[in-house]
Amino acid sequence: MFSKKNTTRPFEDQSSVEFFTSKADSSLFMFGSHSKKRPHNLVIGRLFDNQVLDMAEFGIEKFASMQEFKARLYTASGIKPCLIFSGEFFEENDENKRIKNLLIDFFRGATVEKISLSGLEHVINISAVNGKIYIRSYRVLMKKSGSKTPRVELEAMGPFLDLSLRRTRLASDDLFKRALKKAALAKAKKKKNISHDALGNKLGRIHMTTQNFGKLQARKLKGLKRKAPVDKAEKKQTKEGNKRKKVTDADSEM
């Protein structure tokens, strides 16, 4: 996409980074470079309102690619990883906290509401020991544990990175606070005549026209029939008497 060899130095001049990210409409960027002064350089940063918010520069001291691991246990791309942070470094001061926040933002993947339990198969472990940051990525293997929750085992998947922190350019607290501002959520419109009870059942109130009980169709019963005029009724009774006899005869034969 950007094939020209533009001189891009994120720490000296942010404009080119801001231009590229605005073209791609992305708020996160990672920039790799190599020079005599700063060999194997990696810059991770994020933007707010098309302007660089936080940036951290790392030197790569050791790198192991995915191909170097014998067990080729690749996860599907675009999967949401589990993030593990360890080491007291990330809680030492505000700057380190911000770097942790940046790394979370960078690696967290898509924001999802629901996630499949079987889809939790990628773990990124970021630990800081003795002034170095170790990024390790593992594949999760779920084993039987005898209970509902599985026993977790990890298998190295790669890539592995050993990083040392170089320069940082973090946003002022004022700007960061502005970036944290949350929009007042659009109030959900109140739905009329719908309520929920304690058991989680949905109840609705329906308005209907008044019912005409005169036309109500109840169960048909002979006894509830309107009486016919007298002379016709007599004839009917005799007929019905005959019928009953027949039925009783048939029953006795059986």
Partner 1 sequence: MAGKQTVVDSVLAQNQTDEPKFKSTHVENAELVEIDEGLLLASNENKLDLKEFRQKPEEILKNLARDATQVLFNSLWQLPVEKVEGHFLIKLPEIKTWLPREKPVPKKKAVTKWQEYAKVKGILNTKKSRMVWDEASKEYKPRWGYKRANDDTKDWLIEVPVNADPMEDQFAKKKTAKKERVAKNELQRLRNIARSQKSKVPGVGLTPTEQPSKEHLEKALAIAHKSTASIGKFTDRLPKEKPSKYTGKKRKFEPSIGNLKSEKEKQLKILDIHSKKIPKIDVTKAANRALRQEEEERSKAAEKKSRKTPKKQRGKKASLGLGKSGGKIRKGGGNKKTRGKRRM
Do residues 43 and 55 make contact, with C-beta atoms less than 8 angstroms apart?
A: yes
Question: Is the Cβ of residue 41 or residue 137 nearer to partner 1 in the bound state?
Answer: 137
Of 71 and 115, nearer to partner 1 (C-beta) is 115
Helix (H, G, I), strand (E, B) or coil at 22: helix
Task: List interacting residues with partner 1 (CB under 8 A).
Answer: 27, 46-49, 53, 80-88, 90-91, 100-101, 104-105, 108, 112-120, 123, 125, 127, 129-130, 134, 136, 138, 140, 143-154, 156, 176, 178-183
**Residue 230 CB, nearest distance to partner 1 (Å)?**
48
Q: Rounded to whole angstroms, how far apart are CA atoms 225 and 208?
A: 30
CB of 195 to partner 1, least distance (A): 22
Q: Which residues contact 124 (CB under 8 A, 6 or more apart)?
A: 81, 82, 83, 84, 107, 135, 136, 137, 138
Element (H, E) at 128: strand 122-129
Which CB atom, from 58 or from 90, has the smaller least distance to partner 1? Answer: 90
Give the distance, in angstroms, between the CA of residue 217 and the centroid of all CA atoms in the same chain: 52
Q: Which is nearer to partner 1, 146 or 223 (CB)?
A: 146
Instruction: Tell me how crowded residue 46 is: count the other CB atoms within 10 A of its CB.
Output: 20
In whole angstroms, the minimum distance from the beta carbon of 141 to partner 1 comes to 10
Q: Which two three-digit tokens encode residue 189? A: 């419109």
Measured from the CB of residue 174, what is the shortest distance to partner 1 in angstroms?
Answer: 13
Q: Which residue's CB is nearer to partner 1, number 108 or number 244? A: 108
User: What is the smallest separation between the CB atom of 162 and partner 1, expressed in angstroms?
Assistant: 9
Residue 156: name the closest of 133, 181, 130, 125 by CA: 125
